[in-house]
Every structure is written in structure tokens, then in C-alpha cells.
Amino acid sequence: MSEDVTAAQGLDREAPVPLHAQVSEAMRARIVSGEWPPHYRLRSEPEIAAELGISRGTLRRALSTLIREGLLVQARGRGTFVTSTAIEPSIAQKLTTLWEDFARQGVDVTTDVRKQDVIAAPAPVAALLDLRPGQSVLHLDRVRSTGDGPVALLVNYVRTDLCPGIEQVGLSGTSLFGVLEQTYGLSISTGRRTFSASAAAGEKAAALGVPEGFPLLYLEQITYLDDGRPIEYSDVWIHSDRMRVTSLLSRR
């Protein structure tokens, strides 16, 4: 939690309203306002309880209320997240990049790096990457193409405090994850991916060479290091006629 919940809402220990209800209301307000966007990961229970000066039992009652309301979801071993308004089935797949997938399949791919600069993180991105408002991130805008034409538009935001100087690294012929791991020694461990449909419009349609309204596959991703810190957020739009996403599933 980037700042104490009580700083925004106030926690009145003398009020007739139970503490757990006050905490859940403060969290609910942040979710509804968008300050905590979909997929935002809360800090650990001990950290939140210490910040608020309450017991973990009181905190768990507050979290349970929001989980029942469908505003939060808990993933074993990963933490508590703000839910999306869309249904999100769990999909088992390896955390690889498009570049790595293409290379493994022997597909020739070219990359047009359209933007690679350092910017102040947009508010939702800052929240998802656990940054202060306005803190710097790498903004990376690329189009991946095969012999058939553009297949994906990728927009990444990467924490520059964890990989200083990355805006100077050539990223047209390599994997972003590869640079983070091999150049900066970061250990990428887990990620959260959400898939949905999107109609092409404006610059996205132009970048992928499709008409307005063309159906695209949209992928949203947050990537975490092995110590739990978020390192990267990305939006990816995929040309649905040129690339399909396949998941290999196991029932047991």
C-alpha cells in the first residue's frame, strides 16, 4: 500500500463503527475511485496491519468483506489483488515473451522500436508497479512483424529504478526479459496475464495495418521478480488473423 489507508479516510477508534468496517470502507473507496486499479496487488498483511496499527485478525475481516463483494481476490502464494470487471479464467502457460516464442519456433521476426524513452509513470501504471506518482519508468513502444506483416503492437512500462540506463539499450533485436535478466541480473519469477477482445482504432489500427474495427486480441501483463517486486507492465495488441494464442492445459 503506497500510503497509509488512514491518511485518506481516517480511522476513528472511538466511533461505533467497527475498525474492520472502517478499513474495508477506506479500501473500497480507493478501488471505486480507480486509485487502486484492476490487478493492483496489496502489500502483505503484516505490512498493512502495522501501517494501520490494527491486528491481523481485524485486517482479515476487512479483506474478507471485500473478497465477498468481488472487489478483491486472493491467490495462494502471490497475494491479494484488486479484481477486474471481466471474468478471468486461470490459464497455465510459461512466462515467455513474443520474441522468445518466435525464436523457439524458428520464425523470423523484425522489431520496429517506435519509442524508447523515460517518462513519468501514468497514475494507474505507477500503482501497479508500486511506484510513487510521477516516478520514472521506461516507456517502450514496439511493433513485431513477420514476413506476413505486423503481428503485435507492444507498449511496455519498466521500472528504471531497478534497471538504470535501460533507455540506452538496443531492444530491436532481443527480448526485453533477456535484457532485464542478463544485463541487469534481475530474476523474473511470475506474471499475471489477462486476455480480452479489442476493436482496432486509430494508431493501433495503423500500426498493425488493419482497418478500423478489426478484431484484435488484447493482452495485459504485470511481471514480478522473485522477491515479489513488480518490474514491468505491458499492453499488447495482437493481429488476430496472423497469430493465435494457444494454452496447453492439464486437468491434474
Q: Are residues 62 and 151 in the same domain?
A: no
> Is residue 159 located within the same domain as residue 183?
yes
pTM of this structure:
0.75
Domain ends where: 82, 113, 142? 82
**Do residue 120 and residue 51 come from a single domain?**
no
CA proximity to 79, closest of 214, 196, 208, 192 = 192
Given pLDDT bands bounded at 50, 70 and 90, which one contains residue 104? low
Backbone phi, psi, residue 32, to 5°: -65, -35
Q: For 26-44, what is the mean pLDDT?
A: 89
Q: Among 31-40, 110-119, 224-233, where is mean pLDDT lowest?
A: 31-40
Residue 110 and residue 160 share a domain? yes
Residues 68 and 136 in one domain: no
Residues 75 and 183 in one domain: no
In a domain, 250, yes or no: no
Contacts of 23 (CB under 8 A, 6+ apart): 5, 11, 52, 54, 58, 59, 62
pLDDT of residue 173: 85
Contact between 232 and 157 (Cβ < 8 Å): yes
User: E strand or H helix at 47, and its extent?
Assistant: helix 45-52
Domain shared by 113 and 76, yes or no: no
CA 151 vs CA 7, 157, 209, 240: distances in Å? 46, 20, 9, 8
Average pLDDT over residues 171-196: 90
Q: Is the predicted pLDDT of residue 215 greater than 80, yes or no?
A: yes
Is residue 16 over pLDDT 90? Answer: no
Structural domain containing residue 120: 98-239
Proportion of the chain above pLDDT 90, given as a percent = 56
Q: Which of 48, 82, 116 is the last residue of a domain?
A: 82
Domain boundary residue among 53, 82, 111? 82
Q: Are residues 62 and 186 in the same domain?
A: no
Residues 113 and 75 in one domain: no
Residue 88 lies inside a defined structural domain of this protein: no
231 close to 159: Cβ distance less than 8 angstroms: yes
Number of structural domains, the chain? 2
Residue 93 has pLDDT above 60, yes or no: no
> Based on the domain organization, do 122 and 182 belong to the same domain?
yes
Q: Give the CATH number of the domain where residue 19 resides.
A: 1.10.10.10
Output the pLDDT for position 92.
40
Q: Are 67 and 103 in a shared domain?
A: no
Q: What is the mean pLDDT of the chain?
A: 86
- Do 109 and 75 share a structural domain? no
